[in-house]
A and B are shown apart, each in its own frame.
Chain A
């Protein structure tokens, strides 16, 4: 009896010793751990400090350019608050409409200041001298790298949209197509500067700018009968963007890699072999990544729990897989691959799990595809406009337009085929669209979410013609009873 009892006690003591030894080892190695980013800043003797980097940057051309962008943005007067007119008695607008409208949105829709009274306020704003001077200053900034804050990027996008609006005004009221093309080229350039900023948020803003410019080009080509020289100039203005999609993809990959690696360094240690573990003591919350100097450090005991999370090498492998797939992406099949790779991230990867999920890289790549489609559609719209001016009617086939002087065919990035085109003789218009993410030609039906296969299918096509994209911005009065 006594022997059995002592054996049992010895067994429990042995188990306890193993557990205590393991916990002790983990505690000794991890108690004092710190994220790699904070360690870098500590090793000031070998690493450049933030002040050093800021000084070096201040001597670069990008600093000077960024300063000029910032001063031009600051010089733009605040846009007027445009109020949508109240519907007359017994009438309602065909779409619900906010009371205040951004100027860029107000300019969209039919150019009919007589009927759409709110346009006058915007026109007056764009014709003010100080507005024009600030926009000219912005348009004169040469191509090159730029470093802006998050707020600066948003303001730059707003200003690029104002340039698009001024281009529209110049065509509609003065018929000055050349000046309008110059404004569009400037807005395009500003967007491209953001794309190359190395920050994925600014990349996204820049791509959106450039898509807006393409929309304006399409509208201009549809509404105005461009001369052949104007069409050629417009095409020439976009020619430098032929290789742009590849560059934008690479910029996206490098921006994602930089952002994610930085966040990894802010939450994981890094040893000599490049491996590390999640520093729970440095994190305020696991699902959030905001770690800075002010974040109070918690007891190192929390780091004992990091054994349940992935190590640095595992997370880095996931990041690199996504980045590689973005670098090599071609069409929608690659988008699905990016989405699948994004689903590998989870909260076991620490703060990165909440950020680098499927929606991030996948959504950004979809934006890139949309940008490619928009670029192709703008080229096609200009070629179609030129054909219409020469022959008096829209062509039967898209390949007939620009035949002989377009160096590239307008391709659908979603399936690698030529963009879908159909003439609409009764409306004196045409239908131009891409197959969009479902990869099916739906005959030009506008894309919408539909309940199918679990409810997450985006069905329909991406409409790229100038006939309808702003219809939603141009509501009409209807009888209230209807």
Chain B
């Protein structure tokens, strides 16, 4: 530890302050706390008002969250089994049965059973009990240890996957508090399985009402992706509000340290240099760093302009992060990240749809669905990987979680570039396909295959190049913001 030099202040010289004030001075607004029983009743509101209900449900503690999680798993499994294994007894279902008569095959539709209100309520649970009873008899579970262990591991993996996602909901509290909040929110968020289970069971009736059949109804993977996206949105929104104790980096005053060597430069004259490395103090003063352009914009038009200029700055300016302010509350930076995620995913989905329409008939039919699915997956992937990078930067360096979040938000611009590249490639493929279709394909099939292979190779190369650029930018950003004061 280097001893702090004692400097007698002089009135005509400007000095650095001894420390900067904390990023947050406000105490978190305590929401109305819910008891365990009230929380169970309020669970359905979570899916409509996640921001306010998320904090309240978390206030109910671990035990209530675990019970809610277990109940939701049981209820969801009940509805799932009713809809799959006992489908002919689903009150909302019509079961198509294939029949043959005089050599002709046709579909007979078995009407649903007529059930009393009690039976409708009990049917899912009875289905679960019946399935369990018969499965044990059939020795489907010969060894319980792997099943129990597998379940626990699955839960742990789910936690590990979800915690990086929850990073985006940090309010500046310390890591322990954030982990608790993420864990409890995750447990409460699994109650989404209850409405989903009910919806699964009611799906046949809904399809009937909408005139959908097995051919034109949305397929399972598409629905699963959309549900996963919905769950992620609700989960992140439920983490938005924090009403815990004011305990964390955001509420602590910051010391002034040299950006080059970490030497404490509090109370030094602004015109002096770092006593350790000789770096001018005026060059590293916080006021020299600015927030990203998007974060300074107000109004929709300014935000659009800010988005474009941030995009250009982060991808074109190699010294951008030398002037980026990372010691601030990242409200708009986080919004920028979400915006980038949405735009890049939409572009990627669009490019897949366009590219798919250039292929043969079977691919054309599913191009839109695959495009939407891929867009959803890309959203989830970016949020997860972004959170993972935030945690890594926060752990490996002295930055706060908020600072790491700002850095990653800026770097997310790369994904827009990658999506634009994908879109351009798909447009080229589409044009090429329409040109090649003007000629007899049988004569030029080798050329077409070659062109497709070249296109695919070029696309992958471009993606790899973009990825490498992103990695380079990340390293550069980490280096340039290592001990940023602003």
Contacts and interface: CB of A to CB of B under 8 A. Distances in A.
A238 to B, nearest CB: 31
Contacts of B127: 347
A344 B133 contact: no
Which 4 pairs, one residue from A and one from B, show the smallest C-beta to C-beta distance? A305-B129, A308-B126, A454-B109, A346-B89
A12 interface: yes
Contact of A12 (B36, B106, B114, B123): B36
A456 interface: yes
B460 interface: no
Interface of B: 35-37, 61, 63, 86, 89, 94, 96, 99, 101-102, 106-115, 119, 122-123, 125-127, 129-130, 132-134, 137-138
A280 B133 CA distance: 8
10 contacts: A11-B37, A287-B130, A308-B125, A347-B86, A348-B89, A449-B101, A449-B108, A451-B107, A454-B94, A456-B110
Contact of A348 (B35, B111, B112, B123): B123
A337 interface: no
Given A285-B138, A449-B106, 11 more contacts: A285-B133, A287-B134, A305-B133, A309-B126, A340-B114, A344-B113, A345-B113, A346-B115, A346-B119, A455-B107, A456-B109
Contacts of B99: 449
A310 interface: yes
Contacts of B61: 8
Given A286-B133, A449-B101, A455 B37 contact: no
A413 interface: no
A402 interface: no
B111 A343 contact: yes
A201 to B, nearest CB: 23
Contacts of B123: 346, 348
A284 B137 contact: yes
Nearest to B121: A308
Given A8-B61, A454-B94, A344 B109 contact: no
Contacts of B133: 280, 283, 285-286, 302, 305
A353 interface: yes
Contacts of B102: 448
B126 A347 contact: yes
Nearest to A353: B89
Contacts of B89: 346-348, 353
Contacts of A345: 113
Report which residue of A298, A302, A348 has the largest number of chain B beta carbons within 10 angstroms of its beta carbon: A348
Nearest to A339: B111
Interface residues of A, number: 30
A347 B37 CA distance: 33
Contacts, number: 79
Contacts of B37: 11
Report which residue of B102, B126, B132 has the largest number of chain A beta carbons within 10 angstroms of its beta carbon: B126
A346 B108 contact: no
A108 to B, nearest CB: 18
A182 B184 CA distance: 85
A107 to B, nearest CB: 23
B454 to A, nearest CB: 50
B122 A348 contact: yes
A343 B36 CA distance: 41
B119 A310 contact: yes
Nearest to A447: B101
Contacts of B106: 449-451, 455
A448 B99 CA distance: 12
A305 B99 CA distance: 36
Interface of A: 8, 11-12, 280, 283-287, 298, 302, 305, 308-310, 340, 343-348, 353, 448-451, 454-456
A11 B134 contact: no
A344 B108 CA distance: 19
B210 to A, nearest CB: 16
Given A12-B36, A448-B102, A454-B94, A347 B130 contact: yes
Nearest to B102: A448
Nearest to A286: B130
A310 to B, nearest CB: 7
A258 B63 CA distance: 52
A272 to B, nearest CB: 24
Contacts of B110: 456
B115 A344 contact: yes
Contacts of A286: 130, 133-134
A343 B114 contact: yes
Contacts of A353: 89
A268 B125 CA distance: 19
B126 A348 contact: yes
B250 to A, nearest CB: 25
Contacts of A450: 106
Contact of B119 (A8, A283, A305, A348): A348
A280 B126 CA distance: 12
Contacts of A308: 122, 125-126, 129
Contacts of B113: 343-346
Contacts of A348: 89, 115, 119, 122-123, 126
B139 to A, nearest CB: 12
B122 A456 contact: no
A448 B102 CA distance: 8
B158 to A, nearest CB: 25
Contacts of B119: 310, 346, 348
A308 B86 CA distance: 15
Contacts of B115: 344, 346, 348
Contacts of B111: 343
Contacts of B129: 280, 305, 308-309
B56 to A, nearest CB: 16
B161 to A, nearest CB: 29
A191 B103 CA distance: 31
A99 to B, nearest CB: 19
Contact of B108 (A11, A343, A455): A455
Contacts of B122: 308-309, 348
Contacts of B63: 12
A392 B320 CA distance: 112
A308 to B, nearest CB: 4
A340 B112 CA distance: 10
Nearest to A285: B134
B237 to A, nearest CB: 27
A345 B222 CA distance: 35
Given A346-B123, A347-B86, A455 B114 contact: no
A280 B134 CA distance: 10
A11 B35 contact: yes
Nearest to B125: A308
B223 to A, nearest CB: 24
Contacts of B126: 308-309, 347-348
A287 B138 CA distance: 13
Report which residue of A285, A305, A347, A449 has the largest number of chain B beta carbons within 10 angstroms of its beta carbon: A347
A456 B108 contact: yes
A12 B66 CA distance: 13
Contacts of B35: 8, 11
Nearest to B96: A455
A448 B108 contact: no
A348 B96 CA distance: 21
A342 B127 CA distance: 19
Report which residue of B36, B112, B127, B130 has the largest number of chain A beta carbons within 10 angstroms of its beta carbon: B130
B284 to A, nearest CB: 45
A82 to B, nearest CB: 24
B137 A285 contact: yes
A308 B130 CA distance: 10
Contacts of A347: 86, 89, 126-127, 130
B197 to A, nearest CB: 16
A302 B123 CA distance: 17
A382 B63 CA distance: 82
A11 B36 contact: yes
Contacts of A284: 137
B119 to A, nearest CB: 5
A455 B109 contact: yes
